A and B are shown apart, each in its own frame.
Chain A
Amino acid sequence: MLEQHLAALPILIPLIAAPIALLLNRSLYSWLFATAASAWASVTAWQLLVLTLSEGVVSYAVGGWAPPWGIELRVDTASAFVLLAVSAISTFVLVYSKDSIEKEFEESKHALFYTAHLLCLAGLTGILLTGDAFNLFVFLEISSLATYTLVSLASDRRCLTAAFRYLVMGTIGATFILIGVGLLYMKTGTLNMLDLAQRIELYDNSRTINTGLAFIMVGVSIKLALFPLHRWLPPAYTHAPSAVTAFLASTATKVAVYVMIRFIFTVFGADYVFHEMNMDLVLMVLATVAIFKCSYMATVQSNIKTALAYSSVAQIGYMMLGVSLVSVTGLMSGLIHVFNHALMKGALFMAVGAVFYRMGSVDLKAFRGLGRHMPLTMAAFTLAGLSIIGVPLTVGFISKWYLVSAALEQNNWILAALVLGGSLFAIVYIGRILEAAYFKDLPEGVDPNSIKEVPWLMLAPMWVLVIANIYFGIDTSLTTDAASSAAQWLFQGVEQTMSEQTVIEQAATVDSSVPTNIVQEASL
């Protein structure tokens, strides 16, 4: 029975589980229940990915109302791919969070934490699966409201200002998206994404649609923390509880990147956005500035969570740079980096959370001497750090390879040089933490015997992500297959209109075969 509702399950499971987790109201039970629910959601996400890889698109009419009148859930490879990353990371973070949150805030709030986490997960998966523009806004709000709650749970009172700032910025972003969607509805009379796409194509140079595009682009840019709209992100990540940071850093902004890709490629059409409106140039410049400015900012922070938060903003720059290249390889590099960066940052923030667990601080000073006292945590941090630098045999290398290849494919040697040059900053901001950990002694006044490894429930998920960093850096078949077929699928529309511009030369060489039924559906 559940088989036919597979597409709805990843949303429904956490949505239904959330209030139950609150009702259980005991830290341990809520934890077990939330983790189980999230794990189940991950399994369904995996099934969806397998299904989309073999069958192309899965469409599900909510409540049996056929689209475009009813709400449609529409899963293609791109959404299933990101969905798997999000729900899997959520499960690992939940496993990790039990010991982590015990240390960070009082037990009365624990059930609330699990509820908010599940709601956030439900919102994020909803964004990924829905085929309806307004519905997307609703899910975005569900996840955002849950996120504000999560950020403000920390016992450090600075988290309240950070959460408030996040709330204000997030609401502005959401409002912009709502206005944009409203404008589109005003002009086209539909909210279904596919329907929208077909109708938008008919309008040539409509001012309403242009304005709609502007509102949506700015709104989504706030949500994904694209430079210069990123200012809310570092304080929020810094003051949120460790488990929340690990979850948000590896999922929330990634989903926003997905929304951006979805709006550009599925709703507006890449040809309109990039060639008529020249958004590619805007995105490329902002992304490049983000890479340099925020990578630099990451090297001068003394709070390591802030440093990694700035690093995240820079990494989002890499993703958007891939998108702005307007090629299958570029889009593919962006999508792969969404997945890979989730693995790296998840592991890094978990390791930082482990340091907070023992040292009660995430200042650079707190890392001193930990190489000796917390060898497993620091080894995990080192490996994930190497991944973010982009050392071969880690996922970071794969992302970088595709991004630079995509730039060179268009003979853009300068951009390729900028990408590689920007990644040198990572050596500095990871390197100085490692130097503190391995070459310095513990800070004065800390009892060496009190500093030992964190509980295994925190170590295990951290190491799972670290091993995934290495595994997917060597066996890339899953990630490249999924990302390349997702990128090709998103590019279908572009291919038809721009075939004469030979941007897609490489499409044929990227290893994947698109089933014919997808092509037919796309040309509907």
Chain B
Amino acid sequence: MQKSWLVSVSAVIILVQACLANADTRISGYGSFVAGKTVSGQYFLSDFPKTGIYDKDWSFSPDTTIGIQLSHDINQDYSFVMQLNAHGARGYESEINWAYINYQLSSELSVQLGRKRLPLYYYSDFFDVGYAYNWIRPPADNYTWQISNYNGINLLYETQLGDWDTTFNIIIGIVGEFNRDWLNIRLTAMSSELDRTINGIQVAENVVQQFNGLSVNINLDSFSLLSEFNGYKRDDDHIDVHTRMLSLAYTVSDITPFISYSEFEQKLTLAGGDEHHSTRSAGIRWDIYHNTALKIQYDRVKDEGISSAILGDSESLAFGIDVVF
């Protein structure tokens, strides 16, 4: 743990020195400092991939995250981006989430090579940047995919189609995002092969899996409606999962109250898997400064899985402060 902090602090010092030494280098960062506890039930799983769990005692660990990002323009066409993170749910050990070289082929087309976040879900790319959304964390029922990063190459095409700002990210599938005034639509279609080894035993080899997602977001002056629907299928072992999320928010001055509903439903598998849980949430975001937001959120989880129950029903409360710089 101490070693990890030492590595993080050293990395930050190197980053800052690099920035001070070069005008083409930028440093930015974010932090989410969250305290929470369950008010009924034993446990609340707030982050599936990182296993962030609240219990009856106040804890800062499950949702607290800090990150620092270095961007450097090597020349007019090439740039380099690196992001270092530490999550409370992982004992604050430093991780490199992003480290890639960007080559700008034209004003609309670029290629990235290196380590990036896997852009499966709408909030995948900036999951850790709490300031960028209303909730304390994106709805946990939706964000259950265990792998959040990939090492490889992707092609990014950002253009204008009529009145629509559009982005196509071609990776092991395609992610298309379409923006027009108050409307934002995002589509994901990805296919890959799964190889899995548990305790040295190969349990899956070349198993084809398919992920599809749709997000429709409406942002009017004060009102916003956010939605996300995802489906994941693996025919070989009959895994068929559907997740959905709907959130409404209304901004009055600097204050944004919101409500949300999210659900994870897995169709009964041959092995008897029947994971099914949903969360109703309500909360308030208060933008106290141009780069700082205070948040409070209440979550009520209903765990309906019988053979694949997760952590049971619960109610929980969390307070947080999000900053970006």
A binds B: no
Q: Which A positions have Cβ atoms within 8 angstroms of B?
A: none
